[in-house]
Structure 1
Amino acid sequence: MSEKNVQKIVILGAESSGKSQLAEALARHYQTVWVPEYLREFVEAKQRVPLEEEQLHIALTQLERERVLLPGANNWLFCDTSPMMIALYSRYYFKQIPAKLEDLELLHDYDFTIVTAPDIPWIADGLQRESPAVRQQIHAQLVETLDERDIPFLLVEGGLDERLRQVIFTLDFLS
């Protein structure tokens, strides 16, 4: 299938809400590839959370990885996060974002958006996760942002199997 026929599906959600597990499981189900969250790799490599001036680099790298993996996708490309999440966290922690990151955030050129509910147990993950309270705040800001921008999304809830069923039913129905 050509790149232009591949549907880019983004999975958004606050910390510890199951985005990565869902992206990987969907890729396995649909026998395709997925784009892991670059932030996780960044934090592991640097052994620290990113600084304000590194946010744009993280977003650009995430998008570059989408571009690189797109040719190898089979009908679907599942993207674990997007510049929108990077911008939301930047606003939360730094109270501002660079103009270029805001431009990337506003592009949101995905064919479908999935949001993972913060209804699974919160698990500490070293430097990358702060608390269940922050997870709830970020989730509320994400839903509000999507609503304000009229970006339709599927909110998935429950355990991984339940979330998989919700997404598979929706994607199969839409395709």
Structure 2
Amino acid sequence: MIQKIAILGAESSGKSVLAEALARRFKTIWVPEYLREFVDHHQRVPRSEEQLHIAQTQRKRELELSESAKDYLFCDTTPLMTALYSRHYFEELDPELLQLEKQHDYAFTIVTAPDFPWTADGLQRESPAVRQRVHEELLDILDSREIPFMLVEGALEQRITQVDFALQFLN
């Protein structure tokens, strides 16, 4: 049985790098963040009415890729983050996105700490202050919904070691 692992975090906190590295470490695959693909393709950030599509596409890719995964499927973000950013930027949430957000059905949730230099990418990333604010909002949401998570910190190898240790207790 495949265990889906959610990797959440604010912009420029190392989610994608960690997801890819963990997939290599565990000889499986990972689900890249669809938002990044959307922004690259459209050369702009998404509008409010596009948030649901982004979250639905992310979930659809999780389902598709789970068939090829081995033991774990590392998910670089989830609809929870799409909903968080929707609240942050648009102050409202599509009712269907709210439902997707509540379906947090992951075996384990990892949060990447914003503990290394922020990097601008020209389209998606806003500022170190926004990154910190989103990080705090994420922790508040996870705590309020009683979703257990592990905060990973440090360089990539330290993060891999932290996750490797924690995953031993899932099986």
TM-score between the two structures when normalised by the length of structure 2: 0.99
63, 69, 78: which one pairs with 2:65?
A: 69
Select the residue among 51, 54, 61 that pairs with 1:58.
Answer: 54
1:104 maps to which residue? 100
- 1:34 pairs, out of 15, 30, 33, with 30
Aligned counterpart for 1:161 among listed residues 142, 157, 163: 157
2:23 and 2:122 map into 1 onto residues whose CA distance is 26
**Where do 4+ consecutive residues of structure 1 move more than 4 Å?**
none
Residue in 1 that maps onto 2:131: 135
For 1:41 and 1:89, the matched residues in 2 are separated by 17
Unpaired runs of 5+ residues, structure 1, are none
State the 1:125 CA deviation: 1.1
AA matched with 2:47: L
Aligned residue for 1:34, secondary structure, equals: strand
Cα distance in 1 between the residues matched to 2:107 and 2:149: 10
**Structure-2 separation of matches of 1:167 and 1:71:** 23
Alpha-carbon offset, residue 173 of structure 1:
3.1
Q: Which amino acid aligns with 1:11?
A: I
Partner of 1:114: 110
The one-letter code sitting in structure 1 at the alignment partner of 2:9 is G
Give the CA deviation at 1:149.
0.3
Query: 1:49 maps to which residue?
Result: 45
Encode CA deviations 1:116-136: one digit per residue, 9 max, x unaligned.
Answer: 001011011110100000000
- Asked if 1:90 corresponds to 2:90, the answer is no
Shift of 1:172: 1.8
Q: Secondary structure at the match of 2:110?
A: strand
Residues 1:78 and 2:83 aligned together: no
Whole-Å separation in 2 of the counterparts to 1:14 and 1:74: 27
Give the CA deviation at 1:174. Answer: 2.8
Secondary structure of residue in 2 paired with 1:173: coil
In 1, the alpha carbon distance for the partners of 2:88 and 2:33 equals 19
Is 1:149 the counterpart of 2:168 in the alignment?
no
Amino acid at match of 1:57: H
